[in-house]
Chains A and B, each alone.
Chain A
């Protein structure tokens, strides 16, 4: 069973992301968190395989969260979702070996990340 964690302070954005994910991978289990602290707790308590995180969140943003996750999970597929396509943001996304996905999330926009993640997990023996 593959588990994907959706992190966004907006409930609507979580619903939209969950919808796109379930359309692409109906069998994957979906968990949700509303901020970075909650996300780290969910990851500590559950076998999370993939993280899809919003960039602009109160307190700690999605890139800070991705950096924290990377420390313990160097190979975990992570997508950062944002409409903020500034060079510095994209550069940090790449430096963290994460994937940039444009907001608002659509099935088409998320598909390349999802298939890449599925492949990576298969290769990793998940």
Chain B
């Protein structure tokens, strides 16, 4: 595999830790919305082809996915996604709006509620990461899309499927509610060189400060 820029062990560790802190804060926000504990896995950070990234999620799911997606732009750019099995979308909205809201209202509000939830989670996560890296990121408005992991990751949509991407993901589930899914970020490797430099300065800041 020919990847021009790669992260060394400590840089990868630092990036995983940044994602961990960002997602942990976002989970605490989601906890406030769903009133149930949100469980998280340890983040995975990988440099893989776009096709393999889609397969990593796709092979674990039998049904279509629904995703809230936001693009972010700044010194590094990419896409952040909050994804879950399509049937879980309604359950999440139900958890947020409460059991007294009618099923018809839930269905009507699903898209808007998902967009709003995704916005809270993804902004919380990326905002924390950007702050720790001392950078500003611009976030697009959330978009709700449905499909397989391949369509969501834009395989065969004119992208080079075999190009490498930086893929970060974490599993989450909501206790006592039938909701589970993934928080994921995909960045092209053009962003990786910049990110590598920012991570290196982050490591310097947190380890080299005068005592």
Contact = CB atoms under 8 A, between A and B. Distances in A.
Interface of A: 9-13, 15-16, 19, 22-23, 55-58, 82-89, 103-104
Mostly, the B contact residues are: helix
Contact of A13 (B17, B128, B175): B17
A35 B22 CA distance: 21
A12 B42 contact: no
Given A11-B10, A15-B207, A19-B207, A83 B21 contact: yes
Given A10-B16, A15-B206, A104-B132, 17 more contacts: A10-B14, A10-B17, A12-B10, A12-B17, A12-B203, A19-B206, A19-B207, A19-B211, A22-B211, A55-B24, A56-B42, A57-B42, A83-B22, A83-B28, A86-B31, A86-B37, A87-B37
* A-B interface, 6 closest residue pairs, ranked by CB to CB distance from nearest: A84-B24, A83-B24, A88-B37, A86-B31, A83-B21, A23-B211
Contacts of A85: 25, 28
B38 interface: yes
Contacts of B99: none
17 contacts: A10-B13, A11-B10, A11-B13, A12-B203, A12-B206, A16-B206, A16-B207, A19-B207, A19-B211, A56-B24, A56-B40, A82-B24, A83-B128, A88-B175, A103-B21, A103-B24, A104-B206
B206 A10 contact: no
Nearest to A16: B206
Contacts of A19: 206-207, 209, 211
Interface in B20-56: 20-22, 24-25, 27-28, 31, 37-38, 40, 42
A22 B209 CA distance: 13
Nearest to B132: A104
Interface residues of B, number: 26
Interface string B179-206: 0000000000000000000000001001
A86 B206 contact: no
B21 A104 contact: yes
Contacts of B16: 10
Q: Which of B9, B20, B25 has the most CB of A within 10 A?
A: B20
Contacts of B25: 83-85
Nearest to A9: B42
B207 A86 contact: no
B207 A84 contact: no
B122 to A, nearest CB: 16
A23 B209 CA distance: 11
Contacts of B27: 84, 86
A10 B207 contact: no
B2 to A, nearest CB: 27
A22 B24 CA distance: 26
B10 to A, nearest CB: 6
A23 B211 CA distance: 6
Given A19-B211, A22-B211, A83 B203 contact: no
Contact of A56 (B20, B37, B128): B20
Contacts of A22: 211
